[in-house]
Amino acid sequence: MKYALITGGSRGIGAAAARLFARRGWGVAVGYCRSGERAQALADELSGLGVPAMAVQADVADQGQVERMVDNVLEKFCQLDILLCSAGVSHVGLISQIDGDEWRRLFAVNVDGVHHCCRAVLPHMLGRKSGSIVTVSSMWGQVGASCEAAYSATKGAVIAYTKALAKELGPSNIRVNCVAPGVIDTEMNAHLSPSDLAALADETPLGRIGTAAEAAAAAAFLASDEASFLTGQVVCPNGGLVV
């Protein structure tokens, strides 16, 4: 059996991935920051599928909390094969309107959080010379978005970090890949009006926005043995909006 830790696992792409991993027979640790009840409910749901599951709390921006989270997972599962870094926050607004605290929080969660999680799981994965890490970026990390300069910058950093870490860890048989979704129907995009969503769908070659399950499927593929010769790659479930 494989075991996965999913940060940001209580909602959106993370929750969809947790359900998909569990259906494949993998044990799942649902990482969360504040949504404890939701994370525990999801862990209970996954346990009902007959797989080991647990909810674990950490603010990924805090290295100490992340280290304790990983220790808790390893104490229960004794093994960790997959890390999915799905925790993230967004900010929409003119660059002149974002203050220093907001800027630093975006980088602390979206960039530092990925680093803290990777750093925490690596001693275990390096000891086993095996593991798969999947980060979650965004198409805006590839091309940038007006009024989302700070968010785009964090997601571009995630892509660069993924590619560099893949080169560093490849000789240890640890793969590192990235999912860069397009417009996905999640709570993070709840600020978009129906007309905005309709306009984005119209701009997308496939004519619609994506689902959390579709983005999760890309992450699950990258984490699986089917992608055993893929590392340092960015897979883009975006309906063709960015090519």
Query: What pLDDT score does 72 carry?
Result: 98
Q: Rounded to whole angstroms, what are the CA distances from 190 to 90, 125, 204, 213, 238?
A: 11, 36, 18, 17, 17
Query: What pLDDT score does 193 carry?
Result: 81
| Catalytic residue annotation | 151
Report which of 209, 15, 27, 233 is spatially closest to residue 135, judged by C-alpha positions.
233
Would you say the pTM of this structure is higher than 0.85? yes
Residue 60 lies in a domain: yes
Q: Which amino acid is at 211?
A: T
Q: Which residues pair with 133 in a beta bridge?
A: 83, 176
Query: What pLDDT score does 187 carry?
Result: 80
Task: Tell me the C-alpha distance between 67 and 120, whole Å.
Answer: 6
Q: In the numeric block, which tokens belong to residue 134?
A: 């999947």
Residue 241 lies in a domain: no
Residue 85 lies in a domain: yes
pLDDT, one tens digit for every residue, the chain (243 residues): 999 999 999 999 999 999 999 999 999 999 999 999 999 999 999 999 999 999 999 999 999 999 999 999 999 999 999 999 999 999 999 999 999 999 999 999 999 999 999 999 999 999 999 999 999 999 999 999 999 999 999 999 999 999 999 999 999 999 999 999 999 998 877 777 888 889 999 999 999 999 999 999 999 999 999 999 999 999 999 999 999
Task: Tell me the C-alpha distance between 238 and 241, whole Å.
Answer: 6
Task: Tell me the C-alpha distance between 109 and 129, whole Å.
Answer: 28
Range of the domain at 24: 3-235
Task: Tell me the C-alpha distance between 55 and 136, whole Å.
Answer: 20
- 3-state percent breakdown (helix, strand, coil) of the chain, nearest 5: 50, 15, 35
Residue 42 lies in a domain: yes
Residue 78 lies in a domain: yes
Residue 141 lies in a domain: yes
Task: Tell me the C-alpha distance between 83 and 7, whole Å.
Answer: 8
Q: Which amino acid is at 238?
A: N
Query: What pLDDT score does 192 carry?
Result: 77
Number of compact structural domains in the chain: 1
Residue 118 lies in a domain: yes
Which helix (H) or strand (E) is 41 found in, with range? helix 36-47
Query: What pLDDT score does 50 carry?
Result: 98
Q: Are 133 and 83 in contact (CB under 8 A)?
A: yes
Residue 194 sits in a domain of what CATH number?
Answer: 3.40.50.720
Residue 242 lies in a domain: no
**CA contacts within 13 A on the Cβ side of 33:** 15
3-class SS of residue 34:
coil
Task: Tell me the C-alpha distance between 5 and 221, whole Å.
Answer: 15
Query: What pLDDT score does 196 carry?
Result: 86
